Amino acid sequence: MRDEEIHAALRILRREVPQWQEPVVGVVARESRDPFRILIACVLSLRTKDRTTAEASLRLFALASDPASMLTLSLPKIQAAIYPVGFFRTKSKQIQAMCRRILDAYEGRVPDSIDELLTLPGVGRKTANLVVTVGYGKPGICVDIHVHRISNRWGYIQTKTPEQSEQALCRKLPLKYWITYNDLLVPFGQNICQPVSPYCSRCKLRKYCDRVGVIRSR
C-alpha cells in the first residue's frame, strides 16, 4: 500500500464497518464516555470474546461503577461478576489494585496520559491508548494484534511487534486517523482480514493490499 492510498482504504472501511459487530469497548464508550468504565472493559476484554466481555462488564458495573465503590466489593464478588472472562482471577486482583492506585495517586480520577496509565496494574499500551483516545478524546493510536497484522499485511508499515507498529504508525499515519484507526481495523480483522486464510475474494481493499505474508486465502 502506497502512502497516499491510506485515505481511500480508510474511506472504504468506514462504509464497510457498520455491517459488523462493534467491539465491546466501543459499545461501552458509546453508552458512557467514562474513562473508568472504558479502562475496566478493556482489561476484561483481553483474551476474551466480545460477548463475554460485554456481559461481564454489565454485571460488574451494576455492582460498582467507580474506583471507590469497586473497592467495597470483595475479591470473590468481583470474580463471580466477571466470570467467565479469561484469567478472571488475575483480572479481579488487578482491578482491585488499579482502583486502589487510582484513589491513592490520582484522587479517584483515571489518569489521561499513557505514561501514567502504564503505572496501573494490568495496564499495557493497548489499554492505555484506548483510555486516552476513547475515554479522553486525545490523540493516540491503539495497536492490538489486528492493527499490527493488517497494517503490515497491507505493506503500509514493516514491523515485527505491536510496539514497533505503534511507533511506525505515529510517524506515518495522518493525525486525523489516529483515534479511529483501531475502531476500523479491529472489526475488519475479525470478519475479513483474518489471521489465517483471510477473505481476500470479498475484500473491498484488495487493490490497495500488498498481501504480505498471505499464503492461503479464501
> Over its length of 218 residues, how does the chain's per-residue pLDDT go in tens digits?
999 999 999 999 999 999 998 777 766 666 777 999 999 999 999 888 888 998 999 999 999 999 999 999 999 999 999 999 999 999 999 999 999 999 999 999 999 999 999 999 999 998 999 999 989 989 999 999 999 999 999 999 999 999 999 999 999 999 999 999 999 999 999 999 999 999 999 999 999 999 999 999 99
Q: What pLDDT is stored for residue 194 in this prediction?
A: 96
Architecture of the domain made up of 3-20+141-208 = Orthogonal Bundle (1.10)
CATH topology of domain 32-136: Endonuclease III; domain 1 (1.10.340)
Q: Are 178 and 147 in contact (CB under 8 A)?
A: no
Q: Do domains 3-20+141-208 and 32-136 have the same CATH topology?
A: no
> Domains of the chain: which residue ranges?
3-20+141-208, 32-136
> In angstroms, what CA-CA distances link 139 with 17, 23, 91, 156?
21, 20, 27, 20
